[in-house]
Structure formats: C-alpha cells, structure tokens
Structure 1
Amino acid sequence: MNSLRLLPRSTMRALRSSRRQLPSITRTFSILPRLQTQGPPATPDAETTASQKGNSPAYLGTTKRLPEFNLVDKVVLVSGAARGLGLVQAEALLEAGATVYALDRLEAPSPDFSRIQKRAETELGTSLHYRRIDVREVDELNKIVQDIADKHGRMDGLIAAAGIQQESPALEYSRKDCDTMMSINVTGVFMTAQAVARQMVRFEQGGSVVLIASMSGTIANRGLICPAYNASKAAVIQLGRNLASEWGQYGIRVNTISPGYIVTAMVEALFEKFPERREEWPKQNMLGRLSRPEEYRGAAAFLISDASSFMTGEFGFLLLTNIWAYANEMV
C-alpha cells in the first residue's frame, strides 16, 4: 500500500476504475468455453474414434497433428520382427496406428514381443500378430502374405528386416555359408518384397516397401571381416533401386535403410569376444557413438507413411552419420 501511495493520482484513479470492472471481465471469460463449443461438431479423427471404443491410443499422426504419419487402417508386414531392430520398428508402426504382422523363422518371438502385443491391443487400439516363416520357403511365404491381404482386403507396407551375419575371412569362407547368406539376405528379401508387391498390385492401392540394407553395403568395414554379408547388403541396395524403378507404375515406393553399427544383444556378445571394438567402432562416425535400435523407429514410420509419398529409389537412408567412416574404411 505504501508503494501505491507514491503513484500519480491519475494512475490511482485508473486502477480503481479497472478494479470496479473486474467482475464483468470475469463473467465474460466464464462464458467463453460455452461459446467455443457452439457450431457444427468437428469431424472425429482416428484418435477420437478409438477412444470411443474404450481405448486410449496415442497415434503418431492424427487429423490434429501430422496426419501424413497416420497409419490407421493400414496393414504392414515386418520380416525379422521377432526381436531386435525389426521388432522395434514394428512397435513404431503400431504407435502410428497400423495393424502389423511380424514374420520370422523363430519358433517363438522374444519375451518383449508379448509386451508390445499387449500394448497394441490395450493402449494403441490396434494389433500385432506373429507368423512363423523362413523367407527361403517361398511358396509358404506367398501363401501367408496372400492370406493376410485377403483377411484385410489390402496390403500397404513392408519392412524387410530379416537377415543373418557371419564373420569369416574371405580365404576361409565356404560355398555353403556364402549360399546361405545370399539366400536369406538377398533372395529372401527379394521374395518377401515380391510377395507383398503382388498384393499391392492386386488391390490397386499402391504402398511402400522398405528394405533394410547396411552401411556395410557401401563401405568395407575396418576390423569386421564379413565379405559375404557386405556383398549381400550391397545387393539389397541395388535391388531397392531396381524395384523402385519397376514398381513405380503401380504406385509402389521402394527405399532402403542403411544403419550403422547398432548396439544389440548380438553386438554386446561380440564385444565380449572382441573388447577393442567397443572402443574403436564409436570413433568411426561423426557422432562418436554407436546407434540404438530405437533410433530407427522414426525412419520406419516416415518411409511407410505418406510423409515420404514422393520418395522412392532412395538408398543408404540414415547413412550420413557414417560418411566419415566411409572415408576412413576405404583408405
């Protein structure tokens, strides 16, 4: 109060006048919420609709935020999704609203699969399914993919993440091991993409195919002796280019992702055997660290969704952090 007495009389009169008007201002604000709810009701988006069904989804894209990422009602297959990178990317697609089918040759998926499956049903308002299949069993693979497409009346996307790795010097690599590597990493990827694309063409709705390649398809890794694996991933990159060129007429986009080193359970086991790699590998890219499977979630959602609707034939996506390694490895 003492400080108020120091104000000029004109200011004091203005303050008293505004104080007398406060009740009317308060009354005005109190009716604003009612005014805002008048008029035609807004069209409910997928998030609202799912909430009315008793779920509380939190999709990546809705009519309210980044709708181009919305995958509600889309059917997407992810091969190699029983665990690891494939499963992490499958969860990202679920969060965007897609119905996801995981394809893998394991008898049963990892324990984490059931957690994500339950989350899809109770939290995200969608579903995650498992189909056991070796991508080399082409007839059975085609049957599974067609059955899924028939059930839903559509086929919208594929992430082909199934693959194997074997470290062995080139002078010691057997023909059998090389044939196995190529049959899974190249032929298996090709046949999976083909099976999915056939359904996309059948329903005339287009779609998006993402092939998981590797930075090793572009570089020769220092300290990691895997010539057949690197050759297989180079083939995946070239396969992606050709499929994009051929299938664009059907509205099918094809892109590849080339991850750098990812810290997975297998890599951790490798570090136990070769502890020096834990120190050396992070030095071989510009960020100075290794990547985590979760860091490829956004790439999956982006490439499968309409957010990348004018992007096809792109290879080496996410390879940029390894350009420094590329220069190093080729020396």
Structure 2
Amino acid sequence: MKNYFDLTDRVALVTGCSTGLGVQMAKALASQGCNIVALARRQELIEKVASEIAEEYGVKTLPVRCDITDTEMVNAAVKKIMDEFGRIDILINNAGTGAVAPAEDITDEQFGNELNINLFGSFKVARAVAKAAMIPAKYGRIINIASMYGLVGNKIAPCSPYHAAKGGVVNLSRGLAGEWGKYGITVNCICPGYFWTPLTKETLNTDWFKEYSKTVIPMERYGNEGELDTAAIFLASPASSYVSGIMVPVDGGYTCV
C-alpha cells in the first residue's frame, strides 16, 4: 500500500512551535516520519516540545530560539538548521499575534506590530528558507498560516489590524507561489477558524461567544485539536506537488455563509 503522505527524512521548520496549533501541526508531520525544527522565542518551551516529539515519534528534532521580526536572528536560525540537517523541505509559518480593540482606538504601534509579526515576519522566514534551502534544492513546501479573518470581516471581535495582516498573508502566499513555482516550491495558505489555543481560549470559553459561534459556524462548534493536521500534512507532502497558491479554510464552514 502506498503512503501518499510519507515524510520520512524530510525536515520541517515550524515557527510559533512553542504552544497551540504550531505544536499540533509539528506532531502531525512527525507522525509521518518528518524531522522537526521547533522555532519560537521561548527557549524552555521549544526544548520541551522538541524533546516530546523526538521521544514520541522517534524523529530528529532541533529547538531554535528566534524572533521572526529580527532579520539577523532569522538568517542565523536558518544557517543553524542548514548546518545541522543540510536541508529544509517544509516551512510552516505559524507564528503570529492578535490585537483586539475597536478600530477607532487602535494605536499606530498596535497596527505596526500586527503587520510586523504576522505579515513581515512570515515573509522574512520564507525569504531566508527559500534562498538558503529550497531554491538551491529546487524543491519546497511553504505553508503560511493565515486565518479565516484574512478572507472576511467580523462583527464580534474588533481586530482590523489582524484582518489586514492575515489578508496580507493570503495574498503574499499567492505572490510567492507565482514567483517561486519555477523552483519546484509550492506556497499555500491554511486559514483556520475558531480553534482552542492559549491565545483564544479566554474568548472562546465565554458563554456569549459559544452562542455567537452557533449562529455563524454551520457546524455549530469550534475546531478540535487535530482537525488542522490533515490539511497541513497534505500541503507538506510530495502528494501536493501540483497544488500551489491556494487558500484552505479549515473553519467549520464559517466563510461559506
């Protein structure tokens, strides 16, 4: 039986891999035999994540501390990974942030921070990985984690800078897909809906938000742990070789109504 999603001996760099969805997707790739680089700012957390993944899945792991808004740190991190593994086959740009406040009260600093982390940071990592690893190898899988909020607006949680930044990630993915396709690199985008994470649990756990979600999500519930994994595995695998520049909402139907 052919395993279409076999990632044995591949190397995946996952940013924001200290908690939440980043860790879940890293474990999903490791379950298919992929070696994992866990990149985030908090050293103790990525060391714990890397150790857990190595022990559970028997793959090689490497924790790398990096602030994706710092170009020098990003370039140094990519060099460290290349020195260790000699390749980066998969990049999941997952690191991000989200400010919630009415648009009329958003400060310049808040808006700039959203763009700098969610959009510019994703570009910095993609640029470094493509230049050092994927373009020379003529192969790569880049998966940018945007949001369903990058595709639509919303009435319940005012976060216009987040909408702007994640919308930028969506079209950045199209732009890079168009530019790097000739190198055998696919660039795609996953747009998650409401998932339980350390960033969202405080909001999602309220009664009023649970009631609201039932009116706007056709499946009438939040996403469960693991429900993002199959999209990540598919887009990271050799099986998706002719899939590039697409947006995959994993949102229980939120963006279809």
The TM-score range, normalised by the shorter chain, is over 0.9
1:312 lines up with 2:244 in the alignment = yes
- The correspondence of residues 204-243 of structure 1 with structure 2, limited to 5 A, is 204-243=137-176
* 1:170-213 C-alpha deviation (Å, 9 max, x unpaired): 10000011111110011001101111111234532411000001
Mind listing any 5+ residue stretches in structure 1 that lack a counterpart? 1-63
Higher relative contact order (CA 8 A, sep 6+): 2
Q: 2:223 touches 2:252 (CA, 8 Å); kept in 1? A: no
Q: 1:77 touches 1:100 (CA, 8 Å); kept in 2? A: yes
Shift of 1:119: 4.9
1:89 lines up with 2:25 in the alignment = yes
Structure 1 Cα separation of the partners of residues 73 and 201 of structure 2: 34
Shift of 1:84: 0.3
1:270 counterpart SS class? helix
1:279 lines up with 2:211 in the alignment = yes
Structure 1 Cα separation of the partners of residues 221 and 85 of structure 2: 42
* 1:65-101 C-alpha deviation (Å, 9 max, x unpaired): 42x2111111110000100000100001111111110
Structure 2 Cα separation of the partners of residues 109 and 123 of structure 1: 16
Number of residue pairs the alignment of both structures matches? 257
* 1:284-328 C-alpha deviation (Å, 9 max, x unpaired): 12211111231111111111111211100002443572234xx4x
Q: 1:264 touches 1:293 (CA, 8 Å); kept in 2? A: no
Q: 1:218 touches 1:234 (CA, 8 Å); kept in 2? A: yes
- The correspondence of residues 43-122 of structure 1 with structure 2, limited to 5 A, is 64-66=1-3, 68-109=4-45, 114=48, 117-122=50-55
Q: 1:153 touches 1:203 (CA, 8 Å); kept in 2? A: no
Q: CA RMSD in A?
A: 1.9
| Residues 119, 228 of structure 1: alpha-carbon distance in 2 compared, 3 angstrom cutoff | closer
Structure 2 Cα separation of the partners of residues 73 and 271 of structure 1: 38
1:296 lines up with 2:228 in the alignment = yes
1:128 lines up with 2:61 in the alignment = yes
Structure 2 Cα separation of the partners of residues 244 and 72 of structure 1: 25
2:186 counterpart SS class? strand
Residue type of the alignment partner of 1:297: D
2:203 corresponds, among 263, 270, 276, to: 270
Residue type of the alignment partner of 1:318: V
Residue type of the alignment partner of 1:98: C
> More helix by proportion, 1 or 2?
1
Q: 2:223 touches 2:251 (CA, 8 Å); kept in 1? A: no
- The correspondence of residues 103-252 of structure 1 with structure 2, limited to 5 A, is 103-109=39-45, 114=48, 117-201=50-134, 203-252=136-185
Mind listing any 5+ residue stretches in structure 2 that lack a counterpart? none
Q: 2:9 touches 2:34 (CA, 8 Å); kept in 1? A: yes
Q: 1:102 touches 1:131 (CA, 8 Å); kept in 2? A: yes
* 1:17-40 C-alpha deviation (Å, 9 max, x unpaired): xxxxxxxxxxxxxxxxxxxxxxxx
> More strand by proportion, 1 or 2?
2
Shift of 1:154: 1.5
Structure 1 Cα separation of the partners of residues 133 and 18 of structure 2: 24
Pick the structure with greater CA Rg.
1
Worse-superposed segment, 236-245 or 198-207: 198-207
Identity across aligned pairs (percent)?
32
Residue type of the alignment partner of 1:301: I
